[in-house]
Amino acid sequence: MASQSQGVQQLLAAEKKAAERVAEARKRKARRLKQAKDEAQAEIEKFRQERDRQFKEYETKHLGSQDDIALKIKKDTVEKITAMNKQVAANKDKVIVRIMQLVKEIKPELHINAKKEM
Amino acid sequence: MALSDADVQKQIHHMMAFIEQEANEKAEEIDARAEEEFTIEKGRLVQQNRLKIIEYYERKEKQVELQKKIGASNLLNKSRLEVLKAQESHIKNVLYEAQHKLNPISQDHAAYSKLLEDLLCQGLCQVRVSTHILISNTLEARLEMLSEQMLPEIRAMLFGANPNRKFDN
């Protein structure tokens, strides 16, 4: 009967529409999940750039202080050596006198083993 | 009795409505799950990568710190070496000048002969112990021989007592 096939057609059409609706929902879900990745990526990148900026600040600060330390050590060394030179200049003659004294001071002594033999 | 056409139509419409309702419910369910998973996934990714980034930069900052410390330590060592070299140089000079002052001594005959007497005496005393001793007792040799022994005293006189020294044997 004509009405039978019409009914079946109506049902088939409804099924088709239903399936499309569900398929669309699935597509939306897939897009939403991709969005999650993209948005996460953007946030992560923003965070990374900020952290990197902080790091560069840190680096610059530390490199700067390194130069200061080098200068200070250099200055200290020069001071030490200058002071040493002054001291030596002041004490040198005294020292040479003492060395000469020791060199000329000869105490002829019998070797300790020789003493035992006697 | 067979159903009338109107009844059949009604049935069909009911069935169609049912199909539509089921599909809508299913779609809603899918949308809700999608939202949930969106939140979870985004949160997970962000958290995971934040941690990685934090660790990474912390390590880099520690390296910078370490490099700085190593650099400073190296510079300090270089400085100490420089000071020690300067000291060594001064001592060499002093001993050198002392060596050169020894020459005039041999000009003073009286003092020099007394010196040689004493040297001979000492040499002989040492000979008693063994016949293999080589007597090399010129003043220069004496200076050389004594310079190591004299070092502590020379250093103390030249540079002042060492505050760090613990043993004074």
Window 69-88 of A, Cβ < 8 Å to B = 69-70, 73-74, 76-77, 80-81, 84-85, 87-88
In chain B, residues with a C-beta closer than 8 Å to the C-beta of A22 are 23, 26-27, 30
CA-based nearest distance B169→chain A, Å: 19
* B91 in contact with chain A, both atoms CB, cutoff 8 A: no
Residue in B53, B149, B155 to test binding to A, most A beta-carbons within 10 Å: B53
Neighbours of A85 (CB within 10 A): 12
Q: Residues B8-40: pLDDT tens digits?
A: 899 999 999 999 999 999 999 999 999 999 999
Q: A58, B61: Cβ pair inside 8 Å?
A: yes
Buried b (16+ CB within 10 A) or exposed e, A28-60: ebeebeeebeeebeeebeeebeebeeebeeeee
> Is the predicted ipTM greater than 0.90, yes or no?
no
Calculated CA dihedral for residues B1, B3, B4, B5, nearest 10 degrees: -150
Q: Residues A13-58: pLDDT tens digits?
A: 999 999 999 999 999 999 999 999 999 999 999 999 999 999 999 9
User: DSSP states of B11-34 as a string?
Assistant: HHHHHHHHHHHHHHHHHHHHHHHH
